[in-house]
Amino acid sequence: MLNQLILPVLWSILFPLGVAIYHKGTGNPAPHPGPHYLLPPIHEVIHSRRGATVTLPCVLGTPPPSYKVRWSKVEPGELRETLILITNGHHTRGYGPLGDRARMRRGHRLDASLVITSVALEDEGRYRCELINGLEDESLALTLRLEGVVFPYQPSQGRYQFNYYEAKKACAEQDGRLATYPQLYQGHVFFVPGSLTLAEASGACARRGAVVAKVGHLYAAWKFSGLDRCDGGWLADGSVRFPITTPRPRCGGLPDPGVRSFGFPSPEQPAYGTYCYAET
């Protein structure tokens, strides 16, 4: 009877020890779930526009007894991180080029979200929110992606005159940057026929989940998607234009392809359709 009691007790002692030794021998740490303080973000990619204010969410489900929050920007290739700010309790210290444009939102006591004002082109990229409590640090990564208008730029010297560095410099001088391959093909422009005023054009696009196209939208659709129409349409700047890919009689009046303009008619003149822009 004594032996029957001793064996289960010994097994209950030796079996956990054996598991621990096995993990140590194989180089794998024993499973330890630990607490997960940071809530996973609903969206890992945050979209914004240049000059806007954007919030990168980082929220705690439950706080550890004491902790710091560290925000940094992950440089391309993830070889280096640039510190943005670090907070300890109610005190926050900012670092790096973002300066006063970055702050903690603090919407509630578990809110560690980062707010960036006056978003600039160089702000695009990956960001990391790190919870540091001295025992089990956690982090999450978010990507800030800027949206804008893709447009072709042609210098006075003519087309195809730039090498890469000259093209990059020219874009910077136009308050822009070189487009990536996906950006060239993300703009969708379509025509809505009718006899519309500019205000009616805006409503017609809105009913289709779009906005009145900008000049750059129309140029990109003509240049990269081959948009070809003889119909004049309102654009967001109040001009009326139409894209011609294949010139033909009574359709543009010129032998070369391009975006033709009717100038800037009275916005109250109900005589044109509209070109709308919707993000794909």
Q: Does residue 30 have a pLDDT over 60?
A: no
Backbone angles phi, psi at 47, to 5 degrees: -100, 140
Q: Does residue 10 have a pLDDT over 80?
A: no
Q: What is the pLDDT of residue 149?
A: 64
Output the CA torsion sign for 54, 59, 63, 67: negative
The rounded distance, in Å, linking the Cα atoms of 49 and 217 is: 16
Tell me the two tokens of residue 139: 């982090």
- DSSP 8-class letter at 29: P
CATH 2.60.40.10 fits 45-147, yes or no: yes
Q: Does residue 175 have a pLDDT over 90?
A: no
Q: What is the pLDDT of residue 252?
A: 65
Q: What is the pLDDT of residue 99?
A: 78
User: Which residues contact residue 145 at a Cβ distance below 8 angstroms, ignoring those fewer than 6 apart?
Assistant: 45, 46, 47, 48, 124
- Residue by residue, DSSP assigns 144-179 as EEEE--------TT-SS---HHHHHHHHHHTT--PP
Average pLDDT over residues 121-140: 87
Q: Does residue 193 have a pLDDT over 90?
A: yes
The rounded distance, in Å, linking the Cα atoms of 103 and 125 is: 17
The backbone region for 150, taken as left when phi is positive above 0, alpha when psi lies in -120 to 50, beta otherwise, is beta
- The domain spans of the chain are 45-147, 178-279
Average pLDDT over residues 83-93: 81
Write down the mean pLDDT value for the chain: 79
The backbone region for 260, taken as left when phi is positive above 0, alpha when psi lies in -120 to 50, beta otherwise, is beta
Helices (H), 207-258: 215-225
Q: What is the pLDDT of residue 87?
A: 86
Q: What is the pLDDT of residue 240?
A: 95
Average pLDDT over residues 1-7: 42
pTM above 0.75, yes or no: no
Of residues 186 and 239, the one with the higher pLDDT is 239
Tell me which amino acid residue 148 is.
Answer: G
The rounded distance, in Å, linking the Cα atoms of 128 and 44 is: 11
Dump pLDDT digits (tens) for 211-242.
999 888 898 888 878 899 999 999 999 999 99
Dump pLDDT digits (tens) for 99-114.
789 998 888 888 999 9
Q: What is the pLDDT of residue 56?
A: 95
CATH number of the structural domain 178-279? 3.10.100.10
Highest mean predicted confidence (pLDDT) among 1-15, 166-180, 194-208? 194-208
